[in-house]
Structure 1
Amino acid sequence: MGTIRAELHQGKGVSFARRIYLPRTIGLGVGSVCVATALYPLPSTHWVWALLVLHAFVWPHLAWQWARRSANPYRAELRNMLCDSLAGGIWVGLMGISVLPSVAILAMMAMQNIAANGLRLMLQGLLANACGLLLCLLVLSPPIQFASTMLETYACLPLLVVYPIFIGWMGYKVALKLSEHKRILRQLSRTDSLTGLINHGSWKDLLQLEFSKARAVHRPCCVALIDIDHFKAINDEYGHLVGDAVLKTFSQTLRDNIRETDLAGRYGGDEFCVILPGTHLHQAVDVLERLRQVVDDYCDAQWPGLKVSLSIGIAPLESHITEAALWLNAADKALYRAKSTGRNRVVGASWETDHEQRMPASA
């Protein structure tokens, strides 16, 4: 279990490092223009320019490889971001603390830090900026030039325009991905994992909703409970894997043989349920009788001796039914009559025995 957690954590860390890789590459590339413009009029040695090229165009790729290959990519990438901030402070010092490029670079770094890991990383980044600046001033003693030239102003425009737009676009992509994940999670929370149908709790919520809507507009509606006959015997004789295959196959058959407006779910075990909005009892019987016949006629070449049949109870929404639970209970009583009178049949809750849809019980 510990190994699994470690692998999941490492995968999350690599994903985080990959998400920072492109913003770092673009940010350092565009930011190097600001730095180069500010350094140009200052007395700089060749090693400063070489360091600028390495930092802008080589470091992003080294940082990605370092984080990707680390035992803890997430922590490694956080260290990389603090190194970025430390280097940012050093470049501010080397530029002579020229106000406009310095503020632009520090602001863009703070933006990336807070977007990546919140206020804490932003504050740590600002502290690293200060340490880098202090280190540069103490060790290298660069000439101080607060005033920014017009050329430096123009050189900062790409960083001030392009980088925030890019960070906003990245944030938008993350928001879209989170929205899709939330949609999938909502769907999974409503769906039975084995059959893919609506699960018990969500179907009960839909039943209450359809009950209220039908009563409010006096619209006909039916609810049906479906039981796979002798399902325990199928499990005992063929095994639970075959039993699960029967449930999956029937679930797909159910979806294929009801109407688009009908709402099917797994009620529990081998019981299923269907809400048929805008449907009178005789119409519901027609729909579910066709379903019963399709299942009764089905034969699997892999298990030729396997016989599957359905018992189905249907209850229309009648005027004396004042609660959704009573409506469902009426369908349950109809299902009980279908099972107790031979199975493999459809029974309507308000019908007398001579109106019930009877089919020969399966052998």
Structure 2
Amino acid sequence: MMDNRSGKGLSFVRRIYLPRIIGLGIGMFSVAAGISTLAPAQWTWGLLLFNGLLWPHLAYQLARRADVPYHAEHRNLLADSLMGGFWTATMQFNPLPSVTILAMMAMNNVAAGGQRLFFKGLLAQALGAGLSIALFGAGLQLQATALQVYACLPMLTLYPMAVGWVCYRLAMKLAEHKHRLSALSRTDSLTGLFNHGAWKDLLQLRFQACQQECCQAVIALIDIDHFKAINDTYGHVVGDCVLTQLSNELKRSLRSDDLAGRYGGDEFCLILPDTSLEQARQAMERLRERIGSYRNPQLPELHISLSIGLASCQPTLADPEAWLNAADKALYTAKNSGRNQVNFAHSDLTTLKLAYPD
């Protein structure tokens, strides 16, 4: 949770800092105009200067140095509310500056802590007002002078803009975090390719597009030959390096609209849109040859080969699973026919024989 993490608490403290400087700075003029006709004690002016000019910086330092900055900043907001209630009563509840100050305090508390902090702020305001009445006595000033009206205008314009800017930046940051989390949820952490679930979602979309638009597309399932033996012989670190090497090669060689994913373990999956079976075969043969020529300088005896199954999107396929199953059978045939080769789905073999008769 945020209140248990000093890093996020500090971020919260920093977000409050600038609005507090602006709000208390311009609010000081509203209060000064409100009490100017009441001849307050000299120390009242000193307290007002402290509250408007020095308190924002002191509050920031107190929260920043606290063990739990988030909790400390909530205490600072309640102190703001306390002083807001104090100045409201000191101005003898002059309607315009009083409503302006109390509304801004309420907006702060709702934005920072929701309903709970809002009600705590109301109690703090009532306590502050009671303190002022105990010191100066109760009074009621219902008419605002022209000076008081003008003094409230900055508070009514500049402060909401400052709060709006902070909220906008926070919303943009949250949107960025959401985008990153969404990308992470769809990405395999080791290879950076789509993970199993994300790739299956894309397969569904691509299959529907092919069936509706009668366009070409090919699935390629890629299996690293004897990958378990590589892990058992050289260790999982080397195995991960092999997986990374293949994923990097896929990223370098595939087109921007090709969709590559890690299907699971040592098996990779591709969707090649707008691609004929022959074009897919040529691309996969090039990939197989490049991976086969890869040598690790520290392990020159390590050889890598790929078995690849291809299946084109046929109008007769009932669903994406049938398409994927056709590619899986082609991969199975490649692995059982000596590995290190590209093989085709049974329906595609018939098509190829018609297109390229002996």
How high is the TM-score relative to the length of structure 2?
A: 0.93
Question: Secondary structure of the residue that 1:276 maps to in structure 2?
Answer: strand
Indicate conservation of the 8 Å contact 1:257/1:290, yes or no.
Answer: no
State the match for 1:243 in structure 2: 239
The CA distance in 1 between the partners of 2:212 and 2:349, in whole Å, is 31
- Cα distance, 1:6 vs structure 2: 9.6
Deviation, 1:176, is 1.0
| C-alpha displacement of 1:8 | 5.6
- From 68, 71, 75, give the equivalent of 2:71: 75
Give how far 1:320 is off: 2.7
Q: Which residue of 1 aligns with 2:257?
A: 261
Q: 1:327 to 1:351 in 2, by over 3 A?
A: closer
Equivalent residue for 1:84? 80
Distance between the aligned counterparts of 1:37 and 1:139, measured in 2? 20
Aligned to 1:252: 248
1:28 correspondence with 2:24: yes
| Paired amino acid for 2:50 | L
Give the SS at the match of 2:5: helix
* In structure 1, distance between residues paired with 2:155 and 2:170: 22
- 1:193-232 matches, within 5 Å, as 193-232=189-228
Q: CA deviation at 1:20?
A: 1.2
Q: 1:325 to 1:354 in 2, by over 3 A?
A: closer
The SS at the match of 2:223 is strand
Q: Please give the alpha-carbon distance, in whole angstroms, between the structure 1 residues aligned to 2:127 and 2:248.
A: 65
Determine which of 100, 104, 111 is the counterpart of 2:100: 104
Equivalent residue letter for 2:38: L
- What does residue 145 of structure 2 align with? 149
> Hey, what does 2:303 align to over in structure 1?
307
- State the shift of 1:243 in Å: 0.9
Q: Which runs of 5+ in 1 are unaligned?
A: 357-363
Which residue does 2:48 correspond to in 1? 52
Alignment of 1:289-328 (within 5 A): 289-328=285-324
Aligned partners of 2:151 and 2:48: how far apart in 1? 16
Matches of 1:7 and 1:157, distance apart in 2: 35
Cα 1:77–1:46 change in 2 (3 A) is: same
1:64 aligns with 2:55: no
| Aligned residue pairs, count | 352
Structure 2 counterpart of 1:31, one-letter code: G
Aligned AA (2:219): V
How far residue 187 of structure 1 moved from its aligned partner, in angstroms, is 0.8
Give the Å deviation of 1:141.
Answer: 1.8
Amino acid at match of 1:183: H
Per-residue deviation, 1:278: 1.4
1:338 to 317, 334, 337: 334
Range 267-276 or range 281-290, more displaced:
281-290
Q: Describe the SS at the equivalent of 2:346.
A: coil
Which residue in the other structure is 1:278 paired with? 274
Q: Deviation per CA, 1:196-241, whole angstroms, max 9, x where unpaired?
A: 1000011111111111110111111110100011111111121111
Alignment-derived partner of residue 169 in structure 1: 165
Q: Which runs of 5+ in 2 are unaligned?
A: 353-358
Q: Distance in 2 between matches of 1:46 and 1:193?
A: 65
Aligned-pair distance for 1:42? 2.1
TM-score (normalised: structure 1): 0.92
* Aligned partner of residue 265 in structure 1, secondary structure: strand
CA distance in 2, matches of 1:205, 1:143: 69
- Counterparts in 2 of 1:247 and 1:317: CA distance versus 1, 3 Å: same
- Partner AA of 1:123 in structure 2: F
Question: Aligned residues: percent identity?
Answer: 53
C-alpha distance 352-190 of structure 1, shift in aligned 2 (>3 A): closer
Q: Deviations over 1:257-281 (max 9, x none)?
A: 1122211100000000001111111
CA contact (8 A) 2:312 2:348 kept: no
- What do residues 284-305 of structure 1 show as CA deviations (whole Å, max 9, x unaligned)? 1011111111111112223222
Q: CA deviation at 1:150?
A: 0.4
Any residues of structure 2 matched to 1:105-120 within 5 Å, and which? 105-120=101-116
Cα RMSD (Å) of the superposition?
Answer: 2.0
